[in-house]
C-alpha cells in the first residue's frame, strides 16, 4: 500500500483519480477547500482535510500523513476568471502551488505529479500538433501562471533534486465536470441540452480543441507515478476537433436539434489547440483510448442522472 496525497481531490479529475487509486489498493489523502469541488465526490475510504492551499498551513497534514507521492491538481482553472482577476490566479496557481511544493520537499515526498495545461501554455502555436519543446507563449494569465509553477518544479529538481513529472493536459472532459464547478464546453453543452436550453457557443465554433476523456487522463496520472522522468508531457487525444462538432455528436446521440446562441469569442482563448502526445506513448506507455463520441455519451448519461 502506497500513501498518496491529492490536492484538489474533490474536483472531477481529482476524485476520479482518488477512486482509481483506492481501487488499486493505495491509501489516499485529499486536501481540498471545496470551492469548486464537491464533498460527495470524495470516496468514503479517503481521508479528507478541508484546507485551502493558499491560506492554510499544510505542514501538519504532511507531518502526520507522510505521503510518498503527491498529485497536485488544486488550481484556479477558469481562463476567463484569470483574465478578469489575475491576482487571484497568481495566488492559487503560483503561491498555492509553492505552499504545496515546499512541504513536498520538506517532508521528503518521493515525487510530485503536477497537472498543468497544454493549450493555455503554448498559446496560439504555429506547429500543430504542438510538441513539448515548442516555445511556450501563453495568451492568458492562467497559462502564464501554470508555466511559472512548471519552472518552480524545474528549479526544485535542479537545486534540491526533488523528483517530479508535469502533465500538460489537453481539454479534459467527462462525468462530474459540470457539477464540480469546472465548466468545460462538453459539460456545459450536455447540461444545457439535458435541460432543453439553448447551447451557448463562444465564437463561430470553428475553433479547435483536443478533447481527452477523464478516465484516460487518470491513467496517465497513475502511470506518471513510477516513471523516472523530470519534465513535461502532453496528454491529449491525438485528434483535433472543432467545437461545433461537439454539438453534432450530442445531437446525434440525443436525437435532438439544438438551438444555438452565438456569443463573441472570449479574449485569451486561442483559435487552435491540438497537442502532440507521442512523448506520452514513449515515456508513460500511454495513449488515449476513449473516443469523443463514447466520451460524450458517457458524459451526457451522467448529466441526465445528476441534473
Residue numbers annotated as active site: 142
Other C-beta atoms lying within 10 Å of the C-beta of residue 83: 17
Which residues are bridge partners to 70 per DSSP?
Answer: 5, 112
Q: Cell for 130?
A: 504542438
Partners of 169 in the β-ladder? 117, 235
Residue-by-residue DSSP string for 74-116:
-----HHHHHH-HHHHHIIIIIIHHHHHHHHHHTT-SEEEEEE
How many residues appear in the chain?
Answer: 307
Taking alpha carbons only, the member of 75, 63, 73 closest to residue 104 is 63
Residue 115 backbone dihedrals phi, psi, to 5 degrees = -95, 105
* Cell numbers standing for residue 290: 476513449
Other beta carbons within 10 angstroms of residue 64's beta carbon come to: 11
H or E, element range at 208: strand 208-209
Residue for grid cell 485551502:
52
The DSSP code sequence of 19-63 is HHHHHTT-EEEEEE--SSS-GGGS-TTSEEEE--TTTS--HHHHH
Yes or no: say if 52 and 154 are a contact pair by the CB < 8 Å rule. no
Amino acid at each position: 500500500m502506497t500513501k498518496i496525497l491529492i490536492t484538489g481531490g474533490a474536483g472531477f479529475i481529482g476524485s476520479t483519480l482518488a477512486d482509481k487509486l483506492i481501487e488499486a489498493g493505495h491509501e489516499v489523502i485529499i486536501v481540498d477547500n471545496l470551492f469548486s469541488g464537491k464533498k460527495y465526490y470524495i470516496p468514503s475510504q479517503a481521508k479528507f482535510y478541508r484546507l485551502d492551499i493558499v491560506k492554510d498551513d499544510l505542514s501538519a497534514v504532511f507531518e502526520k500523513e507522510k505521503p510518498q507521492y503527491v498529485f497536485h491538481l488544486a488550481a484556479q482553472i477558469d481562463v476567463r476568471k484569470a483574465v478578469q482577476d489575475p491576482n487571484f490566479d497568481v495566488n492559487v496557481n503560483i503561491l498555492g502551488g509553492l505552499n504545496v511544493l515546499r512541504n513536498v520537499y520538506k517532508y521528503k515526498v518521493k515525487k510530485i505529479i503536477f497537472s498543468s495545461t497544454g493549450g493555455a501554455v503554448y498559446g496560439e502555436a504555429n506547429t500543430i500538433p504542438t510538441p513539448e519543446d515548442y516555445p511556450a507563449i501563453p495568451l492568458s494569465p492562467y497559462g502564464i501562471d501554470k508555466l511559472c509553477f512548471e519552472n518552480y518544479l524545474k528549479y526544485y529538481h535542479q537545486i534540491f533534486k526533488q523528483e517530479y513529472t508535469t502533465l500538460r493536459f489537453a481539454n479534459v472532459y467527462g462525468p462530474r465536470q459540470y457539477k464540480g464547478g469546472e465548466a468545460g464546453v462538453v459539460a456545459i453543452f450536455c447540461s444545457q441540452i439535458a435541460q432543453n436550453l439553448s447551447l451557448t457557443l463562444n465564437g463561430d465554433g470553428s475553433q479547435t480543441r483536443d478533447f481527452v476523456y477523464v478516465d484516460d487522463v487518470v491513467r496517465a496520472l497513475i502511470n506518471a507515478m513510477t516513471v523516472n522522468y523530470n519534465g513535461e508531457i502532453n496528454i491529449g487525444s491525438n485528434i483535433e476537433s472543432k467545437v461545433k462538432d461537439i454539438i453534432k455528436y450530442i445531437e446525434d446521440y440525443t436525437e435532438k436539434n439544438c438551438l444555438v446562441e452565438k456569443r463573441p469569442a472570449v479574449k485569451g482563448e486561442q483559435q487552435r489547440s491540438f497537442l502532440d502526445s507521442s512523448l506520452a506513448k514513449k515515456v508513460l506507455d500511454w495513449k488515449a483510448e476513449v473516443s469523443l463520441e463514447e466520451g460524450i455519451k458517457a458524459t451526457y448519461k451522467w448529466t441526465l442522472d445528476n441534473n
